[in-house]
Amino acid sequence: MSSQTLIKVSNLWAGYGKTVILKDVSFEVAEGEIVVIVGGSGCGKSTILKHMIGLLPPISGTITIDGVNVAECSESQYRSLLMRIGILYQSSALLGSMTVGENVALPIFEHMKLDRHAVMELVRIKLASVGMDGYENHLPSEISGGMKKRAGLARAMALNPKFLFFDEPGAGLDPITASELDHLILTLNRIYKTTMVIVTHELRSIFAVADRAIMLDKAKQGVVAIGKPSDLRDNSDDPLVKRFFNPKVEGRRAE
C-alpha cells in the first residue's frame, strides 16, 4: 500500500469461547482508507468487528491498531486507543432517556476537561457536521431512524477519532435514507481523512463507499477475496465471490 498501514490483522482465529468462527484471517487497512467487511449471514462480519475494537479476545493471532496490540495492551493503552476510535452501532445505541445533545456529549464529558458551555458548543458542531443542527434537545424517540443513525455518528465523532467502525450502518433504513448516509460517510472520510472499517452485506453501500472489500465465507471460515468491489464483481473466478457481487446475473443464469 502507498499509504501508511494503520490497522493490521494477522493470522486471527476468532470466535466465542471454544466455538471457532474465523480461521487464520489476515488483512491490512491503510490510513484514510474505507474498507468494507462483507459476506453472507453468519460469516463472522460482526464477530471480527468485535475483536477489532477489543470487545472479544482472539483465540490466536494479533490485531494492531495505530501501533497498539488490542488484545495485549495495558488498560491505559487501551483507554488511550479508544479515544482515537469511534463506533456506530447497528441500532445507533442512543440512550432513550437522554436528549440527542446529551448523547453526543457523553464521550466529551468523560474524556475531556471542558466546561458545559464548551461541551455543548462542540455538540452543536458535531451535529451540524452530520446534518442534525438544531436537534440537540430532541429525544431519540422524537426523531426518525435515519436521524438516529446520524446522531449516533455524531457521537462516534465526538472526540475527533482517527478511526471509525460501522456495524451495518444502513440496516433498517429505506433506500433513499441509506444512500444519504453513504454520501455522508464518504463526505466525512474526504474531509477528515478518517480511516473507516464498515461491516455490511448491502451491495449498494459496498459499491458506493468502499475503497476495498474483504469478503468472508461461513463455510470456509475465513477470507475468500480482497480487492476493489468493481474488480471482484468483474474479474473474480471464485463462484462464491461472483454470486455475491453479481446476484442478479447469477439469478438469471439459474432460471
Q: What is the pLDDT of residue 251?
A: 47
Q: What is the pLDDT of residue 201?
A: 86
Number of structural domains, the chain?
Answer: 1
- Contact (CB, 8 A) for 47 and 56: yes
Question: In this structure, is residue 107 part of a structural domain?
Answer: no
Question: In this structure, is residue 121 part of a structural domain?
Answer: no
Question: In this structure, is residue 188 part of a structural domain?
Answer: yes
Q: What is the pLDDT of residue 184?
A: 95
Question: In this structure, is residue 117 part of a structural domain?
Answer: no
Q: What is the pLDDT of residue 249?
A: 59
What residues of the chain score a pLDDT lower than 70? Answer: 1-2, 249-255
Question: In this structure, is residue 213 part of a structural domain?
Answer: yes
Question: In this structure, is residue 234 part of a structural domain?
Answer: yes
Question: In this structure, is residue 12 part of a structural domain?
Answer: yes
Beta-sheet strand order (sheet of 163-167): 85-88, 163-167, 195-199, 34-38, 212-217, 222-227
Q: Which residue(s) pair with 216 in the sheet? A: 223
Question: In this structure, is residue 218 part of a structural domain?
Answer: yes
- Contact (CB, 8 A) for 154 and 126: yes
Domain harbouring 228, CATH code: 3.40.50.300
Q: Whole-prediction pTM value?
A: 0.92
* Parent domain of 187: 1-84+183-255
pLDDT tens for each residue of 144-201: 999 999 999 999 999 999 999 999 999 889 999 999 999 999 999 999 999 999 999 8
